[in-house]
Structure 1
Amino acid sequence: MRDPDGLIARAGVRGDPDRDQHFLVDDRVLDRLPTYVAEIDADASHILEIGGGTGALTDRLLALGDADEGDRVTVVERDRDLAAFLRREFADEIDAGRLTVIEGDALEVDLPDFTASVSNLPYGVSSEITFRLLPEKRPLVLMFQQEFAERMVAEPDTPEYGRLSVSTQHYADAELVESIPKEAFSPPPAVQSAVVRLVPRDPEYEVDDEAFFLRFVKALFTQRRKTIRNAIRNTAHISGLEEPDAVVEATDEEVLRKRAGAMAPEEFAALARLAADVSDLHDGQ
């Protein structure tokens, strides 16, 4: 395997916290990341990596696949110099058709039809990238700030539980598989990191309008200290409800007395279906 520090030296770069660049340099962590895909027997024939950096993880992802079977990796890197370095460093793998380097912003480029993603995400846009990947319904192993990761996997009635928890778990089973110390990166970030494994599955509840469901959850959590009764009434400008009072009238008193942090995802789904049935919708922002 390529040495992470050697890759940084050959690239002639240093991580830049101001540009959200923290290179993962701990060999043990780098070696473990691909195993979180292998453990669930996920299809590794086309791995997508967001934020390739100097290629330390890219190298290990290439080793995860079977060259004889045509397994390959696509890496997206927004930094022009780093993308050019990856093309030089991995020229043989690119020539063999095993690696594709896409230079550009992961929120804007066309993503390939990947089978799984393993990525050390840029933390500043980790949420936006994650919610671009989740609807693809592929296994994901992603690095986040520890606090963000804990919110993704949180259960109802815990301090960490919120909109992020419900939205994430709508798409996948979420598991925090490893916490990563600051020292595993160069330069060390200000906070500890964590790896979350996301295994896609259909929710155990029905959602007629997914966009409205997610918007409705967002709206109610903006008033998480209020009862559901008040949150419905106060957030119609976000949820898009034309008749929030009609929704309140149609909702069980037991639900109205709850707060968003105590509502399980299936309860949000049932309430969203009811709200859509009894109130006209407009395009909430």
Structure 2
Amino acid sequence: MPKVVSKKFNQRTEKKKEEKTANSASASSAASRAFGPLFNKDLGQHILKNPLVAQGIVDKAYLKPTDTVLEIGPGTGNLTVKILEKCKKVVAVEMDPRLAAELTKRVHGTPDQRRLEIMIGDFMKTTLPYFDVCISNTPYQISSVLVFKLLEHRPIFRTSVLMFQREFALRLVAKPGDSLYCRLSVNVQLYAKVEHIMKVGKNNFRPPPQVESSVVRLEPKNPPPPVDFKEWDGLMRILFVRKNKTLSASFKTDTVMEMLETNYKTFCATHDRMIEDPLDMKAKVQGVLTNAGLAEERAAKMDQDDFLKLLTAFNEEGIHFC
């Protein structure tokens, strides 16, 4: 008889455990529906949850009441609502329709509703409207292309405040001689003043990313320098393959010489210019470097003026990089 009672007791206990587990799973599922599915790791979605950081980002944008602000990746709107307090209008570009729906609900029925325009789609494929300021908690996988799309935008905007992975941000602001100084640093700084303004720890996001973040302010130069960017970048590609080598050494590789000789012949042909016979391209290039006083310089320690001087010297000799 005691054994039967024990068996029934165990059955009731197991049943209660199953019910408790089911209830827990149901609660977990509800929580997941409320928070989890909104975040798509494939899209690099990490929602900024710290209101103090969000407010700091908005403050550093120095918004005016007449400004139209472009926000890239607004998520659930933690930054958006703070931006709306300071400006005339926000145009938010969001790739994920679910997050766009959440943002729409958040402002529905409020005075902010008519001052917020949501564009659903891929930022990189979107034709951007006019804006004065850009603010973004940027999906890190599009950081580089995002920066250059902004710099190419016309009319030129006043400023942008952008969140990036820490190392990418430090590359943007790196100066000659810094370990992170690279082609990216030089190319962006050609067209904009870049300033590191804030470090942001990973725990300020939901879900937390695997890397630390930083916020930079980018102010485009207006007017931009009269430089052919493809030509400029072609030169930077050569110089920063081995940024600690002398320029003389960087220009001695066969691949570089072949490319420059082809470009030189094309330039001469299209400008009705005689080509030397015989053509000694290596001697011609080394002559440019020597005459410019840069043959023994290293890209790692050269500044914008040095690069502009070098590009001009090459172009004057008919040597081009694109």
Q: Percent identity?
A: 32
Give the aligned partner of residue 220 of structure 1: 239
Q: Which protein has the larger Cα radius of gyration, Structure 1 or Structure 2? A: 2
Q: Quote the offset at 1:88 in angstroms.
A: 3.0
Distance 1:219 1:194 in 2: 29
Equivalent AA in structure 1 for residue 58 of structure 2:
P
Q: 1:115 aligns with which of 132, 135, 148?
A: 132
The change in CA–CA distance for 1:124 and 1:208 in structure 2 (over 3 A counts) is: closer
Q: Quote the offset at 1:144 in angstroms.
A: 0.5
Q: Is the 8 A contact 1:152 1:174 kept in 2?
A: yes
Q: Quote the offset at 1:259 in angstroms.
A: 1.6
Q: Quote the offset at 1:233 in angstroms.
A: 4.0
Q: Quote the offset at 1:48 in angstroms.
A: 0.4
> For the aligned residues, what is the CA RMSD?
2.7
Q: Quote the offset at 1:113 in angstroms.
A: 0.6
Tell me the TM-score normalized by structure 1: 0.84
Distance 2:261 2:205 in 1: 43
The change in CA–CA distance for 1:272 and 1:175 in structure 2 (over 3 A counts) is: same
Give the aligned partner of residue 4 of structure 1: none
Q: 1:102 aligns with which of 109, 112, 119?
A: 119
Equivalent AA in structure 1 for residue 249 of structure 2:
N
Q: Is the 8 A contact 2:64 2:86 kept in 1?
A: no
Give the aligned partner of residue 57 of structure 1: 79
Give the aligned partner of residue 31 of structure 1: 55
Q: Quote the offset at 1:72 in angstroms.
A: 0.2
Tell me if 1:279 matches 2:318.
Answer: yes
Give the aligned partner of residue 43 of structure 2: 19
Tell me if 1:160 matches 2:184.
Answer: no
Distance 1:52 1:273 in 2: 42
Q: 1:249 aligns with which of 287, 298, 308?
A: 287
Q: Is the 8 A contact 1:229 1:248 kept in 2?
A: yes
The alignment partner of 2:214 has SS state of: strand
Q: Quote the offset at 1:236 in angstroms.
A: 5.7
Query: After the TM superposition, which residues 58-73 of structure 1 pair with which residues of structure 2 at under 5 Å, given as runs?
Result: 58-65=80-87, 71-73=88-90
Q: Quote the offset at 1:43 in angstroms.
A: 7.5
Query: After the TM superposition, which residues 167-206 of structure 1 pair with which residues of structure 2 at under 5 Å, given as runs?
Result: 167-202=187-222
Q: Quote the offset at 1:258 in angstroms.
A: 1.6
The change in CA–CA distance for 1:42 and 1:238 in structure 2 (over 3 A counts) is: farther
1:103-160 Cα offsets, whole Å, 9 max, x none, are: 1111110101100101100000011001111233320100001111111111101101
Query: After the TM superposition, which residues 62-101 of structure 1 pair with which residues of structure 2 at under 5 Å, given as runs?
Result: 62-65=84-87, 71-92=88-109, 97-101=114-118
The alignment partner of 2:199 has SS state of: strand
Distance 2:76 2:35 in 1: 7
Structure 1: 5+ residue stretches without partners: 1-7, 66-70
The change in CA–CA distance for 1:9 and 1:75 in structure 2 (over 3 A counts) is: farther
Equivalent AA in structure 1 for residue 43 of structure 2:
R
Moved more, 215-224 or 258-267: 215-224
1:178-234 Cα offsets, whole Å, 9 max, x none, are: 000010011111111000011222589x64423311332233112323221232344
Q: Pick the structure with more helix per residue.
A: 2
The count of residues paired between Structure 1 and Structure 2 equals: 268
Q: Quote the offset at 1:250 in angstroms.
A: 1.5
The change in CA–CA distance for 1:130 and 1:79 in structure 2 (over 3 A counts) is: same
The change in CA–CA distance for 1:282 and 1:251 in structure 2 (over 3 A counts) is: closer
Distance 1:258 1:203 in 2: 29
Q: Is the 8 A contact 2:107 2:113 kept in 1?
A: no
Distance 1:100 1:194 in 2: 27
Distance 2:138 2:227 in 1: 31
Q: Is the 8 A contact 1:51 1:121 kept in 2?
A: yes
